[in-house]
Amino acid sequence: MSLETPFDLQQITLRPDELSGRVIGITGPTAGIGRALALECAQRGAEVILLGRNLRKLEAVHAEIEALRRHDGGPVAPPLIAPLDLERAVAGDLDTIAMAIEERWGRLDGLVHNAALLGQLAAIEHYDVPTWVKVMHVNVTAPFALTQVLMPALRASQDASVVCASSSVGRRGRAYWGAYAVSKHALEGMVQVLADELGQTRVRVNSLNPGRTRTAMRRQAYPSEDIGTLPTPESRTAAFIALLGPQSRGVSGRAFDAP
């Protein structure tokens, strides 16, 4: 794989079956961008693994995908619910997910690290230490551990893609963004290191900053903002799909911004 492979998210055109036959895991799939992406991946032919902590919400997304299958009668494949609390998961929890994927498919074609915590917006000198540790664990350590345990399944794919959802404050730090900004910087670092390590394999790793989006986290960060003026999560999925699908084959170690 080459870090210089030409690829422009501004120029992508997605086919209805862009992800046909692919197995894709998504963390945080019950709301916002994660939910929109799970539905879009399924509509474009992927078998989706829903990785989240709230079983009731996971079941709701599962039902939405099943409804798409019944309504469209097309390539929408049944999803797999994989309960996972990124804050409290231990090695055995991760191993259980890896074994379930191995038994059902024998491979993993895509993994999206979408789940994250904002924490508090505060100056470093006043930042609550337990909150800092929690944010760093969920936003950095958990994606590292999940990627590590799923690496055999990713290596078994003929064309695997890992996509880490990033942020503008993960590219250039800003005052008062604290652990969230630092965690996203660390995630960008993991992308670069892992992409370099996997340079001669069929596994590519990239980051994507989806930009300002109408989500609960955005409302938490900007409570006085008119969130109705922001792009919807559904409008942000195309870039993720392109990075998960065949169009980005050979593209690795790059930091993208959604169009």
State whether residue 184 is helix, strand or coil: helix
Residues designated catalytic: 180
SS3 letters for 91-104? HHHHHHHHHHHHHH
Q: Is 2 exposed, middle or buried (0-12, 13-18, 19+ CB in 10 A)?
A: exposed
Kindly report the length of the chain: 259
CA 256 to each of CA 72, 109, 145, 252: distance values in angstroms, whole numbers, following the listed order: 32, 20, 23, 11
CA distance from start to end of the chain: 24
Find the helix or strand (DSSP H, E) in which 40 lies. helix 32-43
Tokens of 157: 């794919």
